[in-house]
A and B are shown apart, each in its own frame.
Chain A
Amino acid sequence: MIRHDVIVLGAGLAGMRAAIEAKRAGVDVAIISKLHPTRSHSGAAEGGINAALGNATEDSPESHAYDTVKGSDYLGDQDAIEVMCREAPDDIYELEHMGAIFTRASDGKLAQRPFGAAGAPRTVYSADITGHVLIHVLYEQLIKYDIKVYEEFFATKVVVDEGRCAGVIAWDTQKGGLHAIEANHVILATGGVGRMYYGTTNAFACTGDGMSLAWNAGVPLKDMEFMQFHPTTLKSNGVLITEGCRGEGGYLRNKDGERFMVHDAPNAMELASRDVVSRAEWREIADGRGVDGCVMLDLTHLGWKKLKSRLPGSRELAMDYAGVDPIEQPIPVRPGAHYQMGGVDCDIWGETMVPGLWAAGEVACVSVHGANRLGGNSLMETIVFGRRAGQATAERVLEQGDTGARIEPAALADEDRRIAAILNNSEGERPGVLREELAKTMYDKAGVYRTGEALLECQEKVHDLRERAKTLSLDDHSSVFNTDLTTALELLSLLECADCLVTSAVARKESRGAHSRLDFTTRDDDYWLKHTLNWNDGGEVRLDYRPVTITKHQPLARSY
């Protein structure tokens, strides 16, 4: 039996940051990840990370918090938002001291660029590969602190023993076989769930595994109806073109060349918040003013110098995956599922309702993003709340020691039977077929604009898919590097998360942030200023609600 004080699931920015903090506090921590750490999807983040350093113009954590609250359409918990915005600057300085290679201003300080719905240039960045730079700097620290990583281990179950988290059961992808790995505390840091949508910026690995693990361990998922659609993604494969393109002055045009944002956000124009821009684009395309299902992101006026120095990665992506050089031609883009604002319900230290089970990063819902996340806030969230979860679990270990929760042999045997049944089955449908059906259903019926009718159809389809996924046909029944098995397990996670999303969306009869209902077009603070909770009730989604924490900012009408 393997045992550690703290286990972190996932090795993206939140997971690595948590593990580093716990290790520095002197506890025995290990990471379990289905990917090698640097393969994690945090590395694909492009535009930057928000902190009110005030390097470019005057700025303050209070101003950052206000923008975030407003951006969240007042659904974000203001105590959590205050924590993030207050602690962000020191976390940035620490990343810089660890070795992060950020873009510098001429005075040698960290440069800061404007981002959507931000009152000041607040986004610290490294050209347009900020996530890449950060994932590598944290991986370097992982090596420095000699933190054990169970690489390419796929966690299949969080074990709860007499109400306490006892550890996880994980499949060793490289060699095959299930392992029980006990821990006093488990931090979920497995990232998002964008792969439930057809058009998505997310990696193949973003399948909501941690959300599903928590849901099955008895923790509710929160605010799952709020899936952020990023306005600028490529049609061919959903790849993200950073908001930094618009931050650097890029325009969005329809087929007539019109900068259509003038109708939706006459002041902020292209730099309105993401929900606003995505809706405008979707409308242009739906009303026939798009070009081949896209609108045009025009960077041609920025000049090759700026494109090469500030946005080289976006240029590379546009050339590789859209076949256009943005120096000469506009890039066809459309909204794509990008970020799950909701996730595992937890407090401002990441602790969930199941003692010993924690969450940080995109898998979690603290909630700092509410109904709509601001660009540049997700990287900051991973660092601030990853660090806090690492610190809090370490303190708990140092105070309490062994919690006594154990993974009984029977629990491992049960899980072994469940996995073996999936592994050995050749009846039913292929996981890939169901995954594509799910992704198209979600993109068509629970996308940027929603109606009660479409959502109900979507829900019915998701239930049908969950039923059909009970028997999946695998071609590969072997144990070594069986990606047919992991694909099947990922599909099960996606389906549970999709059920939570659509069930919450059917119920929420208002329009707020990323949840935009054509049959309930206004925000209803009297009734709906509350978080949705999705409980697992014998495999079915049961809804519940909880009030939003408001400290300083009373809800106001939101315009940009």
Chain B
Amino acid sequence: MATIENAHFTTLKGAYDTETMEATVKVRRFNPETGKSRFDTFIVTIPVTATVLDALDAIKDTCDGTLSYRKSCRMSVCGSCGMRVDGGAALACKVPMRKFVEAGHTITVSPMGNLPVIKDLVVDMTPFWDKIRAIKPYLDTKNADTPAKEWRINPADTALIHKESLCILCGCCVSECISMESDPDFLGPAALAKAYRFVGDARDKDTRERLRDLSGAHGIWDCTRCYFCNQRCPKGVDPRDAIAKLGAESFKEGFTSDAGAKHAKVFVDSTFKGGYLRETELVPKTIGPANAIKDIPFALQLARAGKVPNPLSPHKAKDNDEVKRLWKLLEKEAKGQPRRATAVHPDAVQEG
């Protein structure tokens, strides 16, 4: 029984015991008043369990209170503290400092890419949020008869959008997106992963319209498949995989007119036919014969350098039948997968 004799209970033993270490952190600064950038290097003492965010906090509390960055949950769920650590986007609160300190390495912290910098490590997320808005990021049941209770959905069907549902909208994927670097209007990995979250949702009835819009300009097919988004996502969302799923779904709906879609289709058809990619078919079938004519001078240049295979006798794999068998096997397996999740109105369920 706890009584006053147990007054030692009030203060927890070992509450603050912690080993510390000395860390060196280089931070890219940007002063919005002068418009000037610079690097500052700080040395701070932090607990051995400290993250990059903890190191920034130590800098702010003890070295330089003008350092600005966003933070909130410090448990990788709010998505505030996206920034570049040694050049790659990460959540500062998820990256431990210890490994750097032990290696004697000075990390460099800088703001995320592809977004305008406001101050120090703080970026303007407006373009990011605008793209999230652009994909109609909410469930549309098309005025389906709303049940009195929950829609019935098979657990396996909710699993279809499990990874996309983990997204915390931190922007790390967008920071590293090379397509967005060349086309700032590209919807980008975060918005597209969010889009798949609805396309794959059993309750959403706007699938066809969504896929039509997403397969147009600045959409699905603008992704160059560099996989930096998958690599940099701190939550395992794998945005590139979501984009691939959107591509497959839009093909099923017959949205194949975008140059990017045609490009993908040539890869599939050409490898099916000959086991190899037929480069000479790739250009005309992607951008159309008329546009391909314009590229003839470029093709001749390539030919002079020996980079063009003979268009009259396309190369073919020795055992092309094996390729075809593989192709058919994949197609068969894909059919066994649930193509679309379904939600059942509870009134339509026979209780048994």
Contact = CB atoms under 8 A, between A and B. Distances in A.
B146 interface: yes
A296 B184 CA distance: 50
Nearest to A199: B15
Contacts of B168: 38, 43, 132
A480 B123 CA distance: 12
Interface of A: 35-36, 38-41, 43-44, 53, 92-93, 96-99, 101-110, 126, 129, 131-133, 136, 140-141, 143-144, 174, 198-199, 203-205, 236-237, 239-240, 279, 282-283, 285-286, 288, 290, 292-293, 313, 316-317, 320-321, 323, 334, 430, 432-433, 436, 440, 443-445, 447-451, 453-454, 474-476, 478, 480-484, 516, 518-519, 521
B4 interface: yes
Given A108-B154, A203-B73, A475-B64, A518 B9 contact: yes
Interface string B111-147: 0000000111010010001001100011101000011
B319 interface: no
A39 B80 contact: yes
B10 A483 contact: no
A36 B125 contact: yes
Contacts of B161: 101
Contacts of A430: 61, 65
Contacts of A451: 4, 7, 10
Given A480-B33, A480-B119, A449 B2 contact: yes
B49 A321 contact: yes
B66 A475 contact: yes
A289 B229 CA distance: 46
A432 B61 contact: yes
B2 A518 contact: yes
Nearest 9 Cβ contacts at the A-B interface: A475-B65, A293-B14, A108-B152, A432-B61, A99-B139, A236-B49, A140-B138, A449-B9, A476-B66
A447 B10 contact: yes
B7 to A, nearest CB: 6
Given A132-B77, A203-B78, A104 B154 contact: yes
Contacts of A144: 138
A460 to B, nearest CB: 15
A43 B170 CA distance: 13
Q: Most chain-B Cβ atoms within 10 A of its Cβ — which of A98, A103, A444, A483?
A: A483
A379 to B, nearest CB: 14
Interface string B209-234: 00000000000000000000000000
A101 B194 CA distance: 13
21 contacts: A36-B80, A39-B73, A97-B146, A102-B150, A104-B154, A109-B149, A129-B77, A132-B77, A198-B16, A204-B74, A444-B11, A444-B12, A444-B15, A445-B11, A447-B12, A476-B65, A478-B32, A478-B66, A481-B68, A481-B120, A521-B1
Contact of B80 (A35, A292, A313, A321): A35
B349 interface: yes
Contact of A292 (B17, B65, B70, B119): B17
B158 interface: yes
B200 to A, nearest CB: 10
A237 B74 contact: yes
Contacts of B132: 143
Overall SS of chain B's interface:
loop
B106 to A, nearest CB: 22
Contacts of B15: 198-199, 293, 443-444
Contacts of B180: none
B290 interface: no
Interface of B: 1-4, 6-18, 32-33, 47, 49, 51, 54, 57, 60-62, 64-66, 68-80, 94, 96, 118-120, 122, 125, 129, 132-133, 137-139, 141, 146-155, 158, 161-162, 165-169, 198, 201, 203-204, 344, 349
A290 B9 CA distance: 13
A454 B203 contact: no
A104 B12 contact: no
Given A97-B146, A133-B165, A483 B2 contact: no
B73 A109 contact: no
Contacts of A521: 1-3
Given A290-B13, A317-B75, A109 B4 contact: no
Q: Most chain-A Cβ atoms within 10 A of its Cβ — which of B33, B75, B94, B198?
A: B75
Contacts of A481: 32, 68, 118-120, 122
B8 to A, nearest CB: 6
Given A443-B15, A518-B10, A204 B72 contact: yes
A98 B1 CA distance: 49
Contacts of A40: 72, 78
B281 to A, nearest CB: 42
A519 B4 CA distance: 5
A555 B46 CA distance: 49
B113 to A, nearest CB: 19
A521 B8 CA distance: 15
A283 B9 contact: yes
A240 B6 CA distance: 27
Nearest to B1: A521
Nearest to A149: B129
A129 B73 CA distance: 14
B69 A483 contact: yes
A8 to B, nearest CB: 19
Contacts of A44: 73, 75, 77-78
A293 B12 contact: yes
B335 to A, nearest CB: 23
A181 B166 CA distance: 35
B13 A447 contact: no
A92 B149 CA distance: 9
Contacts of B72: 35, 39-41, 203-205
Nearest to A334: B12
Given A44-B75, A237-B74, A521-B3, A444 B65 contact: no
B319 to A, nearest CB: 40
Contacts of B54: 237
